Amino acid sequence: MATALLTEEKMEKSLERHKKPVCLIVLGMAGSGKTTFVQQITSRLHSRKNPPYVINLDPACREVPYPVNIDIRDTVNYKEVMKQYSLGPNGGIVTSLNLFATKFDQVIQLVEKRSANTDIAIFDTPGQIEVFTWSASGTIITETLAALFPTVVVYVMDTVRSVSPVTFMSNMLYACSILYKLRLPFIVVMNKIDVVKHDYAMEWMRDFDAFELALNSDSSYNANLSRSLSLTLDEFYKDLTAVGFSAATGEGFDEFLAAVDAAVVEYETDYCPEHERLKKLQVEARAKDKSRQIGKFEEDYEEENRLIDRPTQRRVSHQNEILLRNRAFNFFFFFCLDEEDRLAHKSFRSFLEEQKKKQQSKSNSASS
């Protein structure tokens, strides 16, 4: 009976999730064709009367060639961020994304509002792939989406540039590292097949000998490394979904949509149970952490009271009261964050303050 109830509950949850749009996070090396890919998918879905909800997360792009619903550039001025905090281009993108991530709950609300009439939400990301995949804000954005919507990572790869086995291997290693970091359903889109067909890449993934043959004439260090890595990546290739696509012509669109459907099933069957398990562990760890911190706070509080209750300090000074109140506030604020968030929050705040100070002293010396 209990099992039957559980199954019903799970089914309800699953149906609930299906009502939500699938979130596609589009990643790829600079110039691989992410923006053109988003443009092509958007226009095809529009012509099928199924328009997607499109979000641009690249604060540094000059223009967005597709109808965009949310644009990071409307919230954060990338050039101003660079100027205000004395940052270079990459630092500017990371900080803009960090600032945008603090408002991401609003994006979620807007996507949720569209649930009834949108099947797909597409997130275009910055060209400097590592800025998104290895930054705190990228992780926050991805994990928040994955916790609430069926989420799929779409890795766009340039088939024309990858004809060199060494470049192909670099691309695959990057894809592999993202897959293992995010652990979300993953589709490799082998883009630009209107110029070079992706058959060679599929063969290299299926057959190690074919890849070795392609490397045959090359005895450089990179080639030897690629040879060894190809054997290691064998497991990764086995479960990898790869589709050929042309962002220029739209060839491969239906295969891509079929891959998205399969990825949603994978999200339901593999990702969600694992996510629930990890969430439970996290809740337990947080509860432990909370009780440890409450104990520490109570100890400190008692110590503080003991000191101010001494005859010489019987009257609690105004300053002491403020000190205690501030401590209590800080404690409860940090209490809501876990250890990692707390550290990230602290270092991000001190980083911004430092940058501001630097900038202020620069402008002071310029004006004097």
Ligand X SMILES: Nc1nc2c(ncn2[C@@H]2O[C@H](COP(=O)(O)OP(=O)(O)OP(=O)(O)O)[C@@H](O)[C@H]2O)c(=O)[nH]1
For ligand X, which stretch binds (CB under 6 A), given 29-37, 94-102, 138-146, 233-241?
29-37
Nearer to ligand X, 149 or 168 (CB): 168
Q: How far apart are CA 315 and CA 236, in angstroms?
A: 69
Residue 51 within binding range of ligand X, rule CB under 6 A = no
Nearer to ligand X, 30 or 147 (CB): 30
Residue 191 within binding range of ligand X, rule CB under 6 A = yes
Residue 127 within binding range of ligand X, rule CB under 6 A = yes
Minimum CB separation of residue 298 from ligand X in Å reads 52
For ligand X, which stretch binds (CB under 6 A), given 41-49, 161-169, 182-190, 246-254?
246-254
For ligand X, which stretch binds (CB under 6 A), given 32-40, 73-81, 218-226, 347-355?
32-40
Judged by CB under 6 A, the number of residues near ligand X is 16
For ligand X, which stretch binds (CB under 6 A), given 230-238, 242-250, 321-329, 331-339?
242-250
Residue 30 within binding range of ligand X, rule CB under 6 A = yes
Give me Rg for the CA atoms of the chain.
25
Residue 33 within binding range of ligand X, rule CB under 6 A = yes
For ligand X, which stretch binds (CB under 6 A), given 47-55, 107-115, 245-253, 292-300?
245-253
Ranges within 324-363 binding ligand X (CB under 6 A): none
Residue 67 within binding range of ligand X, rule CB under 6 A = no
Contacting residue, 21, 22, 27, 35, with ligand X by CB under 6 A: 35
Residue 247 within binding range of ligand X, rule CB under 6 A = yes
Minimum CB separation of residue 246 from ligand X in Å reads 4
Which whole-number Å values give the CA distances from 266 to 142, 260, 263, 306, 314, in the listed order?
17, 10, 5, 58, 65
Nearest to residue 222, comparing CAs of 156, 164, 160, 159? 164
Cβ pair 241, 154 in contact under 8 A: no
- SS3 string, the chain, reads CHHHHHHHHHHHHHHHHHCCCEEEEEEECCCCCHHHHHHHHHHHHHHCCCCCEEEECCCCCCCCCCCCCEEHHHHCCHHHHHHHCCCCHHHHHHHHHHHHHCCHHHHHHHHHHCCCCCCEEEEECCCCHHHHHCCHHHHHHHHHHHHHCCEEEEEEEECCHHHCHHHHHHHHHHHHHHHHHHCCCEEEEEECCCCCCCHHHHHHHHCHHHHHHHHCCCCCHHHHHHHHHHHHCHHHHHCCEEEECCCCCCCCHHHHHHHHHHHHHHHHHHHHHHHHHHHHHHHHHHHHHHHHHHHHHHHHHHHHHHHHCCHHHCCCCHHHHHHHHHHHHHHHHHHCCCHHHHHHHHHHHHHHHHHHHHHHHHHHHHHC
Contacting residue, 7, 12, 16, 31, with ligand X by CB under 6 A: 31
Nearer to ligand X, 164 or 222 (CB): 164
Contacting residue, 71, 143, 194, 255, with ligand X by CB under 6 A: 194
Instruction: Please state the φ and ψ torsions of residue 244, each to the nearest 5 degrees.
Output: -80, 145
Minimum CB separation of residue 82 from ligand X in Å reads 18
Nearer to ligand X, 35 or 171 (CB): 35
Contacting residue, 20, 21, 28, 153, with ligand X by CB under 6 A: 28
Contacting residue, 111, 192, 253, 259, with ligand X by CB under 6 A: 192
Nearer to ligand X, 124 or 266 (CB): 124
Q: How far apart are CA 132 and CA 59, in angstroms?
A: 12
Minimum CB separation of residue 132 from ligand X in Å reads 11
The residue number whose beta carbon is nearest to ligand X equals 127
Contacting residue, 248, 257, 324, 344, with ligand X by CB under 6 A: 248
Residues that bind ligand X (CB under 6 A): 28, 30-36, 127, 191-192, 194-195, 246-248
